[in-house]
């Protein structure tokens, strides 16, 4: 298992402090406090210091923590800031992301995912070089599209799929403002799409998945991670090219470990011990050296 952090060269994001179930973050010019159940320790700064720095903080609403309302609440403005603003990611890939204060605690990007963006960019570039062809990359549960932009920046033919039309529109805006084009946008249930691609015999050189614990497709299809993940990965195995390909699986569910994720992938795809499979945790480190683990990843290189 490995632990990976966003590069310190990314200047538009910083985890300033964490503790007592919250995190203090800077996105570009603006600082916010959001709930973070995994921050079980004490804050390194005082509440007064947090309030002095904060432009806004998220206050959970009724039902917070319940299925379907896990992250609902309101934003309380402490200093002047816009509802929407832009940041830039400049690592291997370079792109822009629009952020916004949604009715949930999310703002349009998960910064701990930066190591995955770098991996996607490197692997896509390597496959293009090795094959002399444009790699096809499928991003499932793709949200606002940072991983799609990383693949596109490396020259891939990208299909971006999410079940929520509004976030697909948001991702399209991120593409346009990053000077990129040509991503295929799909609003559909991920399982339905993957099964249909398998029936058609379509295959991809790269597949990216970041499934939620719970979710619904555009036609009311139900997704529950612990019930659907293994079948999804078996279907993904049918549409992933057997050579010159990669897979990235990211999981946020508190009950899932990197060992569990790796075993799911290994068994679903029928991989032997020789498979180039790696797993680990994506972690943010605050100014005081406290490590905040936020998700686990599994990656396969063929």
SS3 231: helix
User: Does 159 lie in the same domain as 85?
Assistant: no
Helix then strand count (H, E) for the chain reads 7, 17
273-292 residue pLDDT tens: 899 999 999 999 999 999 99
Judge if pTM exceeds 0.85: yes
Per-residue pLDDT, 223: 82
Give 205's DSSP letter: S
Per-residue pLDDT, 178: 98
44-95 residue pLDDT tens: 999 999 999 999 999 987 555 555 445 678 999 999 999 999 999 998 999 9
Q: How far apart are CA 258 and CA 250, in angstroms?
A: 9
- Environment class of 158 (CB within 10 Å of its CB; exposed 0-12, middle 13-18, buried 19+): buried
User: Does 251 lie in the same domain as 181?
Assistant: yes
User: Does 283 lie in the same domain as 220?
Assistant: yes
Domain CATH code at residue 195: 3.40.50.150
Q: What percent of the chain has pLDDT over 70?
A: 96
Q: Count structural domains, the chain.
A: 2
DSSP conformation letters of 121-153 = HHHHHHHHHHHSSPPEEEEES-TT-HHHHHHHH
The answer to whether residues 197 and 228 touch, using CB atoms and an 8 Å cutoff, is no
Residue 200 included in any domain: yes
């Amino acid at each position: 298992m490995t632990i990976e952090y966003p590069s310190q060269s990314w200047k538009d994001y910083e985890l300033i402090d964490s503790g007592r179930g919250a995190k203090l973050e800077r996105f570009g010019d603006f600082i916010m406090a959001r709930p973070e159940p995994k921050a079980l320790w004490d804050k390194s700064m005082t509440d007064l210091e947090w309030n002095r720095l904060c432009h806004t903080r998220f206050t959970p609403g009724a039902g917070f923590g319940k299925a379907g309302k896990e992250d609902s609440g309101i934003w309380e403005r402490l200093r002047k800031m816009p509802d929407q603003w832009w940041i830039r990611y400049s690592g291997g890939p370079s792109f822009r992301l629009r952020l916004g204060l949604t009715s949930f605690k999310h703002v349009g990007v998960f910064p701990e995912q930066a190591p995955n963006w770098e991996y996607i960019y490197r692997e896509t570039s390597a496959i293009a070089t090795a094959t002399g062809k444009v790699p096809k990359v499928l991003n499932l549960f793709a949200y606002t599209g940072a991983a799609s932009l990383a693949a596109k920046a490396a020259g891939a033919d990208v299909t971006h799929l999410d079940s929520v039309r509004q976030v697909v529109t948001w991702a399209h805006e991120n593409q346009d403002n990053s000077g990129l084009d040509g991503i295929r946008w799909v609003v559909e249930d991920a399982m339905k799409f993957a099964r249909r691609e398998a029936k058609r015999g379509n295959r991809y050189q790269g597949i990216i998945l970041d499934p939620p614990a719970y979710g619904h497709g555009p036609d009311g299809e139900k997704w529950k991670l612990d019930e659907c993940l293994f079948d999804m990965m078996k279907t993904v195995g049918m549409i992933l090219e057997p050579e010159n390909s990669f897979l990235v699986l990211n999981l946020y569910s508190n009950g899932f470990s990197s060992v569990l994720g790796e075993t799911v992938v290994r068994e679903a795809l029928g991989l032997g011990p020789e498979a180039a499979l790696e797993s680990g945790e994506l972690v943010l480190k605050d100014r005081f050296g406290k490590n905040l683990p936020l998700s686990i990843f599994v990656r396969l290189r063929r």
